[in-house]
Amino acid sequence: MKTKVIFEDFVSLFFPRLCIHCDAPLPRGVKDICLQCQYNLPKIENFKESVPQYREKFDGIFPVEAVFVYGHFVKGGIMQSVLHELKYNHNPEIGIQMGRWFGKNLADAGWKNAFDVIIPVPLHPKKLKKRGYNQALALAQGLHQGLEINVLENALHRVSNTSSQTHKKKLTRMLEMQGMFELNDNVKLNQLNILLVDDVLTTGSTLLACAEQLQKGEPKSISIAALAGA
């Protein structure tokens, strides 16, 4: 064990591990995000109250029970660096870590026993093969560790692949996402309290399309959890 530590310290002299946001060297035992950036994460601390700017994306459209967002997305900010690392730098571990922190905060706020199952938004098989993992599933696995709730990975499947939704308006997104997901056969959701998970909440169109399919399983409630909200 001591030899391994010495070797890691030697390697770090030539290939230092850096914070994904500020490029500060990371001390031993700290992964991806330095302590200063962890402290400065734009977190939403109070999960006992709904945040109107995120809740209103669903009001009057779909009866979600609760909407949880871990942190605010700001262009050039820490959450953007986290999402880029999660989605494009082949690092699902950061998603698990962020999900773990998210889950602990939810548990501390009294939500630990509020849900029966965690369901991640699925990727299309082509995109899953290209990326190698589903970032929403990584978050769900972290939430599982924080909330001690099982993850139902294959409740939904994505029918077809779509281009990036980032720069599209809400109505366009909603129209394009209609029929994009389907509830898998033999999935039992009757009277379950579901926590539906995705990496980013922007217009809410992807999560709405998933929630509409999950509703066919007659769950007791559907709540939303997203790592970042724009």
Give the rounded distance of the alpha carbon of 198 from its chain centre.
4
Note whether 219 and 62 are within 8 A (CB): no
pLDDT at position 13 over 50: no
35 plus 110 within the same structural domain: no
Domain containing 203: what range?
42-229
Number of domains within the chain:
2
Note whether 194 and 48 are within 8 A (CB): no
Model confidence pLDDT, tens digit, residues 37-51 = 999 999 998 787 778
Q: Tell me the three state secondary structure of residue 229.
A: strand
d(CA 187, CA 32): 36
Q: Which residue has the tokens 């369901």?
A: 119
Q: Which residue has the tokens 């539906």?
A: 196
5: number of Cβ within 10 Å: 10
CATH number, domain with residue 90:
3.40.50.2020
13 plus 89 within the same structural domain: no
Strands 181-183 and 221-229: unpaired
Nearest to 119 by CA among 141, 97, 103: 141
Mean pLDDT of 19-47: 93
Model confidence pLDDT, tens digit, residues 160-214 = 766 555 555 666 666 667 778 999 999 999 999 999 999 999 999 999 999 999 9
pLDDT of residue 16: 83
71 plus 110 within the same structural domain: yes
109 plus 15 within the same structural domain: no
114 plus 29 within the same structural domain: no
Strands 181-183 and 156-158: antiparallel
For residue 186 the two structure tokens come to 């033999």
pLDDT band at 10 (very low <50, low <70, confident <90, very high): very low
pLDDT of residue 5: 45
